[in-house]
Amino acid sequence: MQTSRQDVKAPAGRRDSPVRAVVLVGFMGAGKTSVGRELGRRLGWPFVDLDDRVEAREKRTIAEIFRSSGEAEFRRAEHEALRELLKEVERGRLVIAVGGGASSRLENASLLEDSFTTTIFLDASADELWKRCCADRAERPLRRDEKEFRQLYASRRPRYLEAKFHIDTAGKEVSRVASEIEVSLGLKEQPSDEER
């Protein structure tokens, strides 16, 4: 696991914690939503999935937006939803999961850099991510064939690597990944024996 460390450590929930909000980034199948829910539960912070926010604002699913309006319209809606969501960070702590393409776009990366957020890249190999996505019944508009999947992953990965922390999720339970994030953020000393 490759991580960097915060200088100041504070227990979860303390007001003087240096972490205001956590944004989970990574490719489809990385586990951002599952890990985000678990991390939010552990920290006692609300969890928001950016895709859910887009669907609520647009009153249609991501797949419907892609089908009827195209990817450009989805990216516009995604950017506006992210801008709105980051304003909420100023009022309280959040755990946020963003879609695989959100943080790889320059305009969204700039929003995240200028916000009170800490970005965490949840990573795994293209092989593992493809297997996870194939096993998942969710409709993913950009999961087409394996070759395109791998090319898209390779093109986005350099941007993901700009996140403050990098956590390898390969072969790990959701609870273990959430625990490693807490440790990386300085909100917990070490994973418990059950999580190792």
Decide if domain 21-191 falls under CATH 3.20.20.80. no
Contacts of 156 (CB under 8 A, 6+ apart): 27, 100, 101, 104
- Can you give the residue ranges of every domain in the chain? 21-191
User: 15, exposed or middle or buried, with CB in 10 Å at 0-12, 13-18, 19+?
Assistant: exposed
Which among 183, 191, 126 is positioned nearest to 11, based on CA atoms? 183
Amino acid making up residue 25: V
Q: What is the pTM of this model?
A: 0.82
- pLDDT (tens, 9 = 90+) of the chain, 196 residues, equals 444 433 323 333 334 446 789 999 999 889 999 999 999 999 999 999 999 999 999 999 988 998 899 888 999 999 999 999 999 888 889 999 998 888 888 888 888 888 889 999 999 999 998 888 887 766 555 566 788 888 999 999 999 999 999 999 998 999 999 999 999 998 776 655 555 5
| C-alpha distances out from residue 136 to 46, 92, 100, 130, 133, Å | 25, 32, 15, 10, 5
